[in-house]
Structure 1
Amino acid sequence: MKDINNALELLLDKLQVWGNQVILLLPNIFVAIILLILTFYIARMIRNGLDNVISRFSHSNALNNLISTLLYLSLLLLGFFVVLWVLKLDKVVISLLAGVGILGLALGFAFQDIAANFISGVIIAVQKPFGVGDMIETNEYFGVIERITLRTVDIRKPTGELVKLPNKMVFENPVTNLSFHGTRRVDVEVGVSYAEDLERVQTIVIDALENVKNRVKNRDIEVMYDAFGDSSINFKARFWVSYSRQVDYVGAKSDAIIRIKKAFDANNIVIPFPIRTLDFAIKGGDRLSDELQSIKSINGAGSESQQQESNKG
């Protein structure tokens, strides 16, 4: 019974000490609560104001949200440490800072790829090598950029599939931005007969392509001969078109082929078919026709012998 009484007395003494400490800390607790409320209020005001300022200089929503969120969290963390200091919990602050450092180091090793994609996304958002709606080709993928986040670049292929490429892959590999200048050159390969007047063909092709779809009028049409083929003289007809979608390119190329074919038909210009001579060598380089003639002669002689034996019978 005596032991229980002693334990109760110790407990009451401890509670009394704690109560006295709480009473002494009441002003600090009151100040800490006010500081905490002010921290949330000021951080929210700064975040809203920063959103309006950043949006004037950057059109990347992902980057804007990242900057404002990081600043908001930093202000809250700073206010939290100030509150702990007011409550005379300095050792707790030091322990928390050390813990945050160790935790950050551990997370950095554990999520290297995520961090790399995140940093690559920030750099892409700042440099702006391409934007939503651009037609690009990268990492063997070709399509229209549908969305850019701090983790992926979403590409919609011409056949409809959506590809989510990690920012690290896009940042570290070559990217062809086909929409950057708003124009693109179309090359059409054609062949004409060796008998044609090549200068006349040039004039006819240029006239045929004058009003092709989406053609940029201030850039010349070029018809350049580049090879003596097996059955034709080959040339490339080159012209520039306005480009924002892939259909602009393929549509103009299709229209150009139709116009060239109609112009050639109207002017009796021949697009020759490839001619192949097939030589079936049976043995020792003998030609197939000679071998067939020999076989025919042998079969004919055999038929005559059979006929004679039949007559004797």
Structure 2
Amino acid sequence: MRNLQEPINKVMAKLDSWLDAFVTMLPNMAIAVLLFVFFYLLAKYIKKFSNKLLNKTIDNRVLENLLATIIYYTVLGSGFFIILGILGLEKTVTSLLAGVGVIGIALGFAFQDISANFISGIILAFKTPFRIGDVVELNGIMGTVEKTTIRVTIVQTFQGQEVHIPNKDVMQNPIYNYSKLGKRRIDLSVGVSYNDNLKEVESVVLNCIKKLEGVVDPDNIIFDYYEFGDSSINFMIRFWIKFPGPPELGFLELRKKAIISIKQAFDEHEITIPFPIRTLEFNPRQLSSSKEEVMEVNA
């Protein structure tokens, strides 16, 4: 019993010391909780204030979101170290500061994709190949840029889907920005009959396109015949429109109006858009012999 009583006394003494330490730390723990709430609210307020301030000074929402996020986590990190100091965990603070470099290297190898996305997000923020609201094609996905974070670029497709594209994939693939120049070209391929007057066709088509509302730079319309087709002489008409623009003057709408306008003009000037015709020829002698074979089989 004496051998058993001694370790029990040691355990009870240890528990009493922990209880005394817990009671002693209660005021500091209460202050730590209050400080955590304070720094959390402070970080959110500073992030909101930073967004407003950066919005007035920086014409780049991607960079604005990046800087505001960095400020947010900096405030939270400062509060975290202050709370550790109040709880008497100075050695923990020192160990954390000393191990930041080692941890950073270890995380860099363990989370290479996350690190690559983070660095790519910073590069995109400063390089600005696109802005929020631009119509782009990224990694084969076309839509409107909704948001860019330090990890992903969010694109809303024209089919109503929200796609999160890793920043690393954005950087490693071609970026098509349809809003950068403020205009977009429409290419239409049309064919006319070999019997039509080609100069008249060119004049009719150019007049049609120039009259369309929404066409910009009408003097830069390109018309060229490029092929003797099987049943038609084919040409390409290329013209520019404002992009992005209002829905009634958007890319798909103006392309539709151009096709309708060209077809109506061709009808008025009796210009033909031919279509392939297949002629089937039968040898009468072969046809009669096949009929005789069928009759013999039936007999």
Q: TM-score range by the shorter chain?
A: 0.7 to 0.9
Checking the alignment, whether the CA contact within 8 Å between 1:219 and 1:240 is kept in structure 2 is no
Within 5 Å, which residues of 2 pair with 1:229-240?
229-240=229-240
Where structure 2 has 5 or more consecutive residues not aligned to the other structure, the ranges are: 1-5, 18-31
Identify if the C-alpha distance between structure 1 residues 225 and 71 changes in structure 2 by more than 3 Å, giving closer, same or farther: same
* 1:201 pairs with 2:201: yes
For 1:246 and 1:231, how far apart are their aligned partners in 2? 38
The 3-state SS of whatever aligns with 1:63 is helix
* 1:290 pairs with 2:282: no
1:175 aligned partner, one-letter code: I
Q: CA deviation at 1:92?
A: 6.0
Pick aligned residue for 1:66 from 56, 65, 69: 69
The 3-state SS of whatever aligns with 1:269 is coil
Of 139-148 and 226-235, the range deviating more from structure 2: 139-148
Equivalent pairs, count: 268
Q: CA deviation at 1:220?
A: 3.0
Q: 2:98 matched to which residue of 1?
A: 98
Q: CA deviation at 1:259?
A: 0.6
Q: 2:183 matched to which residue of 1?
A: 183
1:263 aligned partner, one-letter code: A
The structure with the largest alpha-carbon Rg is 1
User: C-alpha deviations, 1:186-226, integer Å up to 9, x for none?
Assistant: 11111111011100111111112222241114543322100
User: C-alpha deviations, 1:75-132, integer Å up to 9, x for none?
Assistant: 5578689989xx9x98666533333333333333332212211221121112111112
Checking the alignment, whether the CA contact within 8 Å between 2:187 and 2:238 is kept in structure 1 is yes
Identify if the C-alpha distance between structure 1 residues 117 and 246 changes in structure 2 by more than 3 Å, giving closer, same or farther: farther
Q: 1:265 matched to which residue of 2?
A: 267
Q: 2:133 matched to which residue of 1?
A: 133
Give the alignment's TM-score, normalised by structure 2.
0.72
Identify if the C-alpha distance between structure 1 residues 75 and 297 changes in structure 2 by more than 3 Å, giving closer, same or farther: closer
User: C-alpha deviations, 1:254-293, integer Å up to 9, x for none?
Assistant: 10110111111101111111122346xxxxxxx6543103
For 1:73 and 1:298, how far apart are their aligned partners in 2? 94
Q: 1:114 matched to which residue of 2?
A: 114
For 1:208 and 1:148, how far apart are their aligned partners in 2? 41
Q: CA deviation at 1:147?
A: 1.8
Q: 1:243 matched to which residue of 2?
A: 243
User: C-alpha deviations, 1:147-167, integer Å up to 9, x for none?
Assistant: 222221111111112211111
Q: 2:22 matched to which residue of 1?
A: none
For 1:76 and 1:293, how far apart are their aligned partners in 2? 99
User: C-alpha deviations, 1:229-273, integer Å up to 9, x for none?
Assistant: 000000011111111169511111110110111111101111111
Give the alignment's TM-score, normalised by structure 1.
0.70
Identify if the C-alpha distance between structure 1 residues 103 and 232 changes in structure 2 by more than 3 Å, giving closer, same or farther: same
For 1:51 and 1:250, how far apart are their aligned partners in 2? 36
For 2:286 and 2:217, how far apart are their aligned partners in 1? 62
1:206 aligned partner, one-letter code: L
The 3-state SS of whatever aligns with 1:62 is helix
For 1:275 and 1:198, how far apart are their aligned partners in 2? 22
Q: 1:124 matched to which residue of 2?
A: 124
Identify if the C-alpha distance between structure 1 residues 59 and 147 changes in structure 2 by more than 3 Å, giving closer, same or farther: closer
Q: 1:309 matched to which residue of 2?
A: none
Checking the alignment, whether the CA contact within 8 Å between 1:151 and 1:167 is kept in structure 2 is yes
Q: 1:283 matched to which residue of 2?
A: none
Identify if the C-alpha distance between structure 1 residues 246 and 168 changes in structure 2 by more than 3 Å, giving closer, same or farther: farther
For 1:295 and 1:81, how far apart are their aligned partners in 2? 100
Q: Name the % identity.
A: 39
Of 192-201 and 238-247, the range deviating more from structure 2: 238-247
The 3-state SS of whatever aligns with 2:190 is strand
Q: 1:210 matched to which residue of 2?
A: 210
1:66 aligned partner, one-letter code: T
For 1:299 and 1:107, how far apart are their aligned partners in 2? 82
Of 130-139 and 47-56, the range deviating more from structure 2: 47-56
2:235 aligned partner, one-letter code: F
> What root-mean-square deviation, in Å, do the aligned CA atoms of Structure 1 and Structure 2 show?
4.1
